[in-house]
Amino acid sequence: MPELPEVEVTKKGISKFCLGQKINTVMTSGVRLRYPIPDLPKLLLGKKIKVVSRRGKYIIIGISEGFLLIHLGMSGIISINKKEQKMQKHEHVRFYLQNGNILSYFDQRRFGLVLWEKQKISEHRLLKNLGIEPLTDRFDTDYLYNLLRTRKGAIKNVIMNSNLIVGIGNIYASESLFKANIKPTRLACSVSKKKCAKLCTDIKSILQEAIIKGGTTIRDFKNCQGIIGNFKYNLKVYGREGAECFHCSRKIKNIKISGRSSFYCSNCQR
Q: Is the Cα dihedral 165, 123, 13, 25 positive or negative?
A: positive
Percent of the chain exceeding pLDDT 70 equals 100
Which amino acid, residue 57?
K
CA distance 94 to 149: 47
Mean pLDDT of 131-144: 98
Mean pLDDT of 113-117: 97
**Does residue 1 surpass a pLDDT of 80?**
no
Q: What is the pLDDT of residue 218?
A: 86
End-to-end CA distance of the chain: 27
pLDDT band at 219 (very low <50, low <70, confident <90, very high): confident
pTM above 0.85, yes or no: yes
Domain 141-264 belongs to what architecture? Answer: Orthogonal Bundle (1.10)
Q: What is the pLDDT of residue 226?
A: 93
**Does residue 42 surpass a pLDDT of 80?**
yes
pLDDT band at 220 (very low <50, low <70, confident <90, very high): confident
Q: What is the pLDDT of residue 105?
A: 97
Q: What is the pLDDT of residue 85?
A: 87
Domain(s) labelled CATH 3.20.190.10 in the chain stretch across 4-123
Can you name the CATH fold of 4-123?
Answer: N-terminal domain of MutM-like DNA repair proteins (3.20.190)
**Does residue 176 surpass a pLDDT of 80?**
yes
Q: What is the pLDDT of residue 186?
A: 97
CA distance 117 to 14: 20
CA distance 251 to 41: 54
* Residue environment code for 70-97, b if the CB has 16+ CB neighbours within 10 A, otherwise e: bbbbebbbbbbeeeeeeeeebbbbbbbb
Helices of type H across the chain: 4-18, 40-44, 141-148, 155-159, 170-179, 193-212
**Does residue 5 surpass a pLDDT of 90?**
yes
Mean pLDDT of 168-173: 97
Residues tagged active-site? 2-3, 57, 260
Domain(s) labelled CATH 1.10.8.50 in the chain stretch across 141-264
